[in-house]
Structure 1
Amino acid sequence: MTTETEEYDVVVLGAGPTGENLADYARSAGLTVALVESELVGGECSYWACMPSKALLRPPTALAEARRSPGARQAVKGPLDVAAVLAHRDEYASYWKDDGQAAWVAKEGIDLVRGHGRLAGERRVTVDVPGGGRRTLTARHAVGVCTGSRAAVPDLPGLAEAKPWTSREATSARQAPGRLAVVGGGVVAAEMAAAWQALGSRVTMLVRGSGLLARMESFAGELVAEGLTDAGVEIRTGAQVSEVRRPDPSGPVTITLADGGELVVDEVLFATGRAPRTEDLGLETVGLTPGQWLTVDDTCRVTDVPDGWLYAAGDVNHRALLTHQGKYQARIAGAAIGARAGGQPVDTARWGSHAATADIDAVPQVVFTDPEAASVGWTAEQAERAGRRIRTVDYDMSKVAGAGLYADGYRGRARMVVDLDRDHLLGVTFVGYGVGELLHSATVAVVGEVPMDRLWHAVPSYPTISEVWLRLLEKYRSTAGT
C-alpha cells in the first residue's frame, strides 16, 4: 500500500448535493478543495432518492390530473405504460452513472478523490482508493463532513435474511412486485406507496402510529391517506411488525404483526427513518463517537471539536433531513469557511449570511403524493409547545375558483399559523392537487417575516389556486381581535 500526502485548503467528505455545494462555495472563495466520494458523485438524491422517486411519481400524477379534467378525461385511454415510466426514471437517475457530475466537479476546479475517506486526526483525512493504495489529504482551514444518512432498518427476527427493500431498492427496482408491504408512515412510505400502487403493485401500508406524516399538520396526513386509499392502497394504522420471514430467497415474504396477524407479500419496504453515515468515518480520532449525528452551530461548525476546523452539513447533522436544506447548509458553511480563512467578519446573527436560520424557522417540504402536501415553518402544535401566542386560519381550497378550474372534485385545505405578538407568519401548510408550486410564496413570507398588513397587499392573480392567500387573509382580518 502506497501513501501519497497532499495539502488543500478544504477537504470535503461526501460528494452528494451537500458536499458538491460546500466544495463549490469554498472554491468560489478562492480556496483549494478536494472532494472525496466512495460511491457516485451526486449522492443519494441523484440516484436513489429525490430524482428517481419524483420521476416515478410524476407520470401517475399527470394521468390522474388528466382524468380530473373534462375533455382530457375522455381522451385518456388505457393504463400507464409501466416500462416507459421506468425508462423515464432511469434517465433521471442518469442510468446510475456519474460522468456528468464528475465533469462538473472538474470544470469548477475541484479535485475529485475517489475512495473511502476517514478522518485521521486534526485536519487530516486518509482515503483508501480503488485498486489499493492510500492518499492522505491535509486541510489548512477546514474539513467538511457531508456523508449524509442511510436507511435505518429495525432489528427484527428474520429481517436481514428477508432482504427487505429500503428507499434505495424502492426507487431503483426493475419491475413492480405483485404485492408490496410498506412499513412506515412518513414521506418515503407515502410516496413509494403511491408510486408502486400506480405502477401495478397491490400495496399495504403498515403504520405503527395513528396516521401518516406525523410531523406535519394532522389534516395533511388525513388528506394524503384519503388519496392513497382512493387509489387502492390499504392502510393499516397501529400495525407493529414483530417478525419477517423469507425461507426462499426468491419466494414471498411473511410479515408477522404484534397482534398475531400475518401478511404475505412479494416485497417489503422498510421506510422507518434514517441513521447517520458516520460509523466508519474515523470520528474516534478527533474525540467523537462513531455512528453519531454531528452537533453543529448555525455556521455548521461541529461544536464538540476544538479549534473550529471540522464542519458537518446535510443529513449528517440531523438539523433538517432534506436535500434542499443540506444544500442550503452547504452554502452557509462554504461561505463561512471562506470568510474565516480570509480573516473576514462572520455574520452569525439570526438570518445572517453565515447562519442557517431557516433550519429552525423555515424548513419547506413537499410530499409528492396525490394530493400533494406542502408545508414551511412551524405547525400549530409546534408553535404552542414553544409558548407562542398564535392564531390558526384554515380554508377549504376547493372553494377557490382556480382550484375548481384545475380539477373536478378538487379536495384540499390550507392553514396559516400567525404569531400574534410579532404579526407575521410562523408556518403555512397546503394540501391539494398541485400545491407544491404554491410553497415558495409561503416560504418567502415566513423567511421575510412579512407583516400581515403588508401581506394583504400581495394580490394573487385570478383565477389561480394561489388566490387561497387572499381567502386566508380575509378570514384572518375578519377574526382580528376575537
Structure 2
Amino acid sequence: MTDASLNTEYDVVVIGAGPVGENVADRARAAGLSTAVVETELVGGECSYWACMPSKALLRPVVARADARRVPGLSDAVQGPLETAAVLAHRDDQASHWKDDGQVAWLEGTGADFYRGRGRLTGEKAVSVTAPDGTEHRLTARQAVAVCTGSRAVVPALPGVDGARPWTSREATSAKKVPGRLVIVGGGVVGTEMATVYQALGARVTMLIRGKGLLPKMEPFAGELVARALGEAGADIRTGVTATSVRRTAPDGPVFVEVDDGERIEADEILFATGRAPRTDDLGLETVGLTPGSWLTVDDSCRVDGTSWLYAVGDVNHRALLTHQGKYQARIAGAAIAARAAGDPLLETDRWSAHTATADHAAVPQVVFTDPEAASVGLTLAEAERAGHRVRAVDHDLAAVAGSGLYADGYRGRARMIVDLDREILLGVTFVGPGIGELLHSATVAVAGEVPIARLWHAVPSYPTISEIWLRLLETYRDA
C-alpha cells in the first residue's frame, strides 16, 4: 500500500479497483486530479481473475479445436482430447495466478494512491477504509466519490443449497480439476460458456433452463444454434424445468439436484449461473440517503441521481453488465468529473459530448464465446417492436457467404439486422457462427454511428471473407 495516511484529502476517491475503477482513476489523474483508489480484494477485479480473462483462456482451446476439426487436411490431426492440465495452466497464467502485483504497479504508476481494505461511505464525500490489519483511514473527496464495486453472482435460496457448496462463476473459472458430471442451472452467457468449456474438457454436462431456451436476451435463433451445437457435443439441455432443492451428504460426495418434474439428478458439482446482484450491501449507502444492496440509478455521466458528487460506474448502475461497457462508462465518468471540476459549462448541455454514456441506450455489443459464437449489438427485433419502432428484420444464412465455406466445412450460422424503416438506419445486428466475434465491431460502428443504409452500400467488404455478409444483408433488404 502506498504510504498516504497523512494525505487524506483528494479530488477523487474511487471505491473498487477492477477495470472500471482503474479507468476512472486513470482519467482523473490524466486531468490532473489527485486520486485515491480503494480495493478490498485484488486490483484488476472480477474480469481479471474470475470472469473475462480466465473464462476466455478456458474457451480459446475449445473453440480453436472445434474450428480445426472443420478444416480439411487438419481435422484428422485434432480428433483427440484436449490436454486438460495445459488448458488449466494457461488459464492460471492469464489470471496472473490470482496475484495482483502487476496491476498494483500499473495503478500506482498513474500517480493514484492505493489503499487496500474495505471502503465505506460515511457521509457526503467521505470514505473510511479499514485495512486488513485493522488500521482505519479516513478519506475526503473535494470533487467526487466513484463507486465501482461491481456485482456478485446470485445463488437462489433453495433448500439444502448452503450445505451443497455450489459453484458460481468464480468457482467455475478457477476450478483446479474437471468434474465428471456437472449440472448447470441457467442458460445465459455464463451458463452456455461454461457448458462449452466443461463438455469439451470431458465432463458430462446437464443444463437446467427455466425458460424456453439458451441466451434469452439475444435473438431466439442465437440460443437455438448454440443449443444445437452443445447437444451434438453431448450436453443434456433441459428447458422449462426448475431446480427445487440441492443436497450434498458428504464433503467429497456427489450433489443431488431435485427438479420440479420430480426427477433427481446426481452430479459431482453444480453451477448456478442465475444472475447478478450489486456489491453495495456493505458500502455505507445509508449514510448518504441510499438503500444498501440496491443498484444505483445514474444519469448519462454516471452521476447518481439526486447527488452532485457521487458516481456509480460499471455493473453497479445496472445499465450494461459487461466489462467493456463499464470501461466505456469509466472514461465518460472520468471526463465528466474532470469537466465539472473545471467548471465546463458545455457538460450539462452537450448530449453527444465525451461526457455522456449514450451507447448504453442503443449500441451495447456483446460476444458469447461458445461454439458457435454468438454476437449482437443494439436491439433485437422484439425489443425494437416493444419500443415502438417501425422495423424490418433482415436475415441471411452465413453459410451462403463465400468466406464461410473457406473458414470451415459444414459452416452453420445466421445473421440478422434490424432496420428502422423510417430513418433507414440499423437499430441492431446479430451474428451466430464460427469466427463471427471479430465481425461485431463493424456492426457496432454502424449502429452507434447511425450510418444510413445508403452509405453502408459504400462500405465494401473484402472478398472472400465472412464480412461479405454485410453485402448480402443489404441486398436482401433492397430486394424485399
CA distance in 2, matches of 1:291, 1:76: 48
1:187 counterpart = 2:189: yes
Is residue 329 of structure 1 aligned with residue 329 of structure 2? yes
Indicate whether 1:114 and 2:119 are aligned. no
- Measure the CA separation in 2 of the matches of 1:350 and 1:185: 36
- In the alignment, what sits opposite 1:470? 471
Any idea what SS the aligned residue of 1:19 has? helix
Q: Alignment partner of 1:125: what SS?
A: strand
After TM superposition, list the pairs within 5 Å mapping 1:336-347 onto structure 2: 336-344=336-344, 345-346=346-347
Instruction: Give the Cα–Cα distance (whole angstroms) in 1 for the partners of residues 238 and 349 of structure 2.
Output: 46
**1:74 corresponding residue in structure 2:** 76
| 8 Å CA contact 1:4, 1:134 repeated in 2 | no
> Which one of the candidate residues 117, 125, 128 is aligned to 1:126?
128
Distance of 1:77 and 1:219 partners within structure 2: 28
Residues 119, 127 of structure 2: 8 Å contact kept: yes
Query: Matches of residues 44-443 of structure 1 in structure 2 within 5 Å?
Result: 44-76=46-78, 78-305=80-307, 308-344=308-344, 345-346=346-347, 349-443=350-444
Aligned partner letter, 2:336: A
Task: State the alpha-carbon separation in 1 of the partners of residues 135 and 77 from structure 2.
Answer: 61
Q: Do the aligned residues in 1 keep the contact of 2:153 with 2:276 (CA within 8 Å)? A: yes
| Rounded Cα–Cα distance in structure 2 between residues aligned with 1:27 and 1:347 | 22
Deviations 1:404-452 (A, max 9, x none): 0000000000000011111100000000001000000000000110000
Where do 1:3-82 residues align within 5 Å?
6-76=8-78, 78-82=80-84
Is 1:206–1:237's contact at 8 Å kept on the other side of the alignment?
A: yes
Q: Which amino acid aligns with 1:402?
A: G
Q: CA deviation at 1:79?
A: 1.3
SS in 1 for 2:297: coil
SS of the residue 2:171 aligns to: helix
Residue 349 of structure 1: how far off its partner (Å): 4.0
For the 8 Å contact 2:169–2:271, the answer to whether it is kept is: yes
Residue 478 of structure 1 and its aligned partner are, at CA, apart by 1.2
SS of alignment partner, residue 254 of structure 1: strand
Q: CA deviation at 1:77?
A: 5.0
Higher alpha-carbon deviation: 416-425 or 268-277? 416-425
1:25 counterpart letter in structure 2: R
Quote the Cα distance in structure 2 between the aligned partners of 1:397 and 1:11: 48
Q: Which letter does structure 1 place at the counterpart of 2:40?
A: S
Q: Secondary structure at the match of 1:141?
A: strand
Deviations 1:136-164 (A, max 9, x none): 00000000000000001111100011010
Cα distance between partner residues in 1 of 2:357 and 2:305: 15
1:276 maps to a residue whose letter is P
Alpha-carbon distance in structure 2 between the residues aligned to 1:347 and 1:121? 25
Point out the more displaced range, 138-147 or 241-250: 241-250
Residue aligning to 1:446: 447
Deviation at 1:75, TM superposition (A): 2.6
1:339 aligned counterpart, secondary structure? helix
**Cα displacement string for residues 18-37 of structure 1 (whole angstroms, at most 9, x for unaligned residues):** 00001111111110000100
- Listed one character per residue, the Cα deviations across residues 213-272 of structure 1 (whole Å, up to 9, x for unaligned) are 111000001001011111111100011011001111210000001121110000000000
CA distance in 2, matches of 1:280, 1:79: 45
Name the CA distance, whole Å, in 1 between partners of 2:60 and 2:167: 22
Distance change >3 Å, CA 347–CA 409, structure 1 → 2: farther
In the aligned structure 2, how far is the partner of 1:216 from the partner of 1:76? 32
Indicate conservation of the 8 Å contact 2:183/2:267, yes or no.
Answer: yes
Match status 1:459 vs 2:460: yes
Do 2:374 and 2:430's aligned partners in 1 also have CA atoms closer than 8 Å?
yes
Distance in 2 of aligned mates of 1:313 and 1:234: 38
Verify the 8 A CA contact 2:160 2:246 in the aligned structure 1.
yes
SS at match of 2:375: strand
How much does 1:477 deviate?
Answer: 1.0
Contact 1:4 1:136 in 2 (8 A): no
Q: In the aligned structure 1, how far is the partner of 2:389 from the partner of 2:77? A: 51
Matches of 2:476 and 2:197 in 1, distance apart? Answer: 36
Structure 1 gaps of 5+ residues are: none
Q: What is the rounded CA distance, in whole Å, between the counterparts of 1:218 and 1:23 in structure 2? A: 39
Query: Structure 2 CA distance, aligned partners of 1:132 and 1:101?
Result: 24
Q: Which amino acid aligns with 1:196?
A: Y
CA distance in 2, matches of 1:476, 1:347: 39
Q: Distance in 1 between the 2:80 and 2:197 partners? A: 17
TM-score (norm 2): 0.98
One-letter identity of the residue aligned with 1:325? Q
* Offset of residue 76 of structure 1: 2.4
SS at match of 2:143: strand
The CA distance in 2 between the partners of 1:77 and 1:286, in whole Å, is 59
Is the Cα–Cα contact under 8 Å of residues 69 and 78 in structure 2 kept in the other structure? Answer: yes
Distance 2:352 2:52 in 1: 27
The answer (yes or no) to whether the contact 2:69–2:79 under 8 Å persists in 1 is no
Distance 2:170 2:108 in 1: 27
Deviations 1:274-323 (A, max 9, x none): 00000000000000010000000000000033xx1000000000000000
- Cα deviations across residues 168-204 of structure 1 (Å, max 9, x unaligned)? 0000000000000000010000000100111111000
Distance in 2 (CA, whole Å) between partners of 1:430 and 1:255 is 35
Give the AA of the match of 2:211.
G
Letter in 2 for 1:463: P
Q: Deviations over 1:4-29 (max 9, x none)?
A: 67000000000000000011111111
Distance 1:349 1:465 in 2: 38
TM-fit CA distance, 1:78 = 2.3
Q: What is the deviation of 1:470?
A: 0.3
- Aligned with 1:120: secondary structure? strand
Conserved? CA contact 2:362–2:379, under 8 Å: yes
